[in-house]
Homo-oligomer: A and B are copies of this chain.
Amino acid sequence: MKRIFLASAFFLLTACSVLTPATRYQASGDLGVIIARESGELVVFNSSSRRIVHTVSGLGDLSHASVVFSRDERFAYVFGRDGGLTKVDILQGQIDKRIVQGGNSIGGAISQDGSLIAVSNYTPGGVRVFSADTLELVADIPATYTDASGQQKLSKTVGLVDAPGNRFVFSLFDGAEMQIADFSHFAADGQFSIKRHAQIGKNPYDALITANGHYYVAGLFGEPGMARLDLWHDDQAPVRVLPDYGDKDQALPVYKMPHLEGWAQAGNYLFVPGVGRHQVLVIDAGSWQQVAHIPVAGQPVFVMSRPDNREIWVSFAHPDNGQIQIIDAETLAITETLQPGPAVLHMEFSPRGEQVWVSVRDLNEVQLYDTRTHQKLATLPVKSPSGIFLTRRAHVTGL
């Protein structure tokens, strides 16, 4: 009997060792996630092996989803259109926590220190802030404003970004305000403060923060131009820049406005999608004056700089969204037009810029291109892919 016991013990201990292979260590620096918008799935892929490693389902409505990463690059926080906030463990390929925090959310951000997740909402308006660890609600910012009739109202919030100093910055679509929520003391005393800048211009619809976190710039749907806040001096009122940008006779419905995250900075130039025009605008980053415009194949949606700033890659709105055009950042000439296929929705460059991942929704594939040769290198099968996010974003302000 004893012998049998030992035999069984030996067998089982041997089995145990199989459970702890060297592969139990999994780094996360070259992983990425892809939003599968129709199926509500998050696809985790390895950008080095060019393979899908996990498909995580049950994330709700991802028809307009965005993602931020924890500072250790282990967790992806997915902001769904239905107000869902899902924390996904991309190493284990499973949902760690999920809440439905609002009726209709439009995006989110992670704080500079990685401890807080903020979500901006259409319904109800305002911004809610959660513990990045537990997803518990820690702050609720209603985003109230006073309308023409003197009534207090709640506003949709848009253009939410993280800023240095553990701040979140966002704009009030209905309230024509920018607000800065300062959480720099929150860890110490549980308190936060709000700075408000009113009358920045009608209906800010989206915003961006420059790469170093210096300027926050909101596009205006209700009137031409953009409102720019200097975050190095956030008591100063925002100023109007690019006074002709998106002028009224060219304005399109909000849902067709270009993403302002789609702006590119290359050297001293900003490359900006022309609103309602088949143009990429070139702006001097010092003077914020337009210095040129580049005719392109359609209405630009994403205008992105290759990480070495040598090329600008442009995607387009329907019906021209089967193409990508590549602009030489020095000559401003279009050097090549790629035809990835119907409905190019997003592009994500590898951190050092040698590759770019492209989601082609109606082909149900994500394509990988060599950014030097512009040749296609690989394809991943993904149902209706939209946003692509590499973990490197964990290390970048505003992403």
Tell me, yes or no, whether A255 is within 8 Å of chain B by CB.
Answer: no
Can you sample 25 A-B contacts with CB below 8 Å? Answer: A1-B1, A12-B13, A19-B20, A20-B20, A25-B74, A27-B27, A27-B74, A29-B69, A29-B70, A29-B391, A48-B72, A48-B114, A71-B351, A162-B352, A164-B310, A164-B352, A165-B372, A212-B308, A212-B309, A214-B308, A214-B309, A268-B268, A268-B286, A307-B397, A351-B395
A15 to B9, CA, bound (A): 11
- Chain B residues lying within 8 Å of A392, measured Cβ to Cβ, are 395
Nearest Cβ on chain B to A297's Cβ, whole angstroms = 25
Complex interface residues of chain A between 4 and 34 (CB less than 8 A to chain B): 4-5, 8-9, 12-13, 15-16, 19-20, 22, 24-31
Tell me, yes or no, whether A394 is within 8 Å of chain B by CB.
Answer: yes
Give A391's nearest chain B residue, CB to CB.
B29
Give A231's nearest chain B residue, CB to CB.
B308
Task: Give the number of times this chain occurs in the complex, counting copies.
Answer: 2
B214 touches A267 (CB 8 A): yes
Task: Classify the secondary structure of A's interface with B.
Answer: loop
0/1 per residue, A356-399, Cβ < 8 Å to B? 00000000000000001000000000000000000110111100
Q: Contacts A4-B5, A8-B9, A352-B112 given: A308-B164 contact, CB under 8 Å?
A: yes
Which listed residue, B8, B30, B212, touches A5 by the CB 8 Å rule? B8
Tell me, yes or no, whether A247 is within 8 Å of chain B by CB.
Answer: no
- Chain B residues lying within 8 Å of A307, measured Cβ to Cβ, are 164, 212, 397
- Chain B residues lying within 8 Å of A330, measured Cβ to Cβ, are 232
Q: Which of A9, A13, A16, A352 has the most B CB atoms < 10 Å from its CB?
A: A352
A113 touches B354 (CB 8 A): yes
Give A214's nearest chain B residue, CB to CB.
B309
The 4 nearest A-B residue pairs measured at CB? A29-B73, A351-B395, A27-B74, A12-B12
Tell me, yes or no, whether A184 is within 8 Å of chain B by CB.
Answer: yes
- Chain B residues lying within 8 Å of A8, measured Cβ to Cβ, are 5, 8-9, 12
A232 touches B310 (CB 8 A): yes
A-side residues, CB < 8 A to B, are 1, 4-5, 8-9, 12-13, 15-16, 19-20, 22, 24-31, 47-48, 69-74, 89, 91-92, 112-114, 162, 164-166, 184, 212-214, 232, 266-268, 286, 307-310, 330, 351-354, 372, 391-392, 394-397
Nearest Cβ on chain B to A210's Cβ, whole angstroms = 10
Other A-B pairs beyond A1-B1, A29-B74, 6, CB < 8 Å: A8-B8, A16-B19, A26-B26, A27-B70, A212-B309, A214-B267
- Chain B residues lying within 8 Å of A213, measured Cβ to Cβ, are 308
B396 touches A25 (CB 8 A): no
A391 to B213, CA, bound (A): 22
- Chain B residues lying within 8 Å of A354, measured Cβ to Cβ, are 112-113, 164, 166
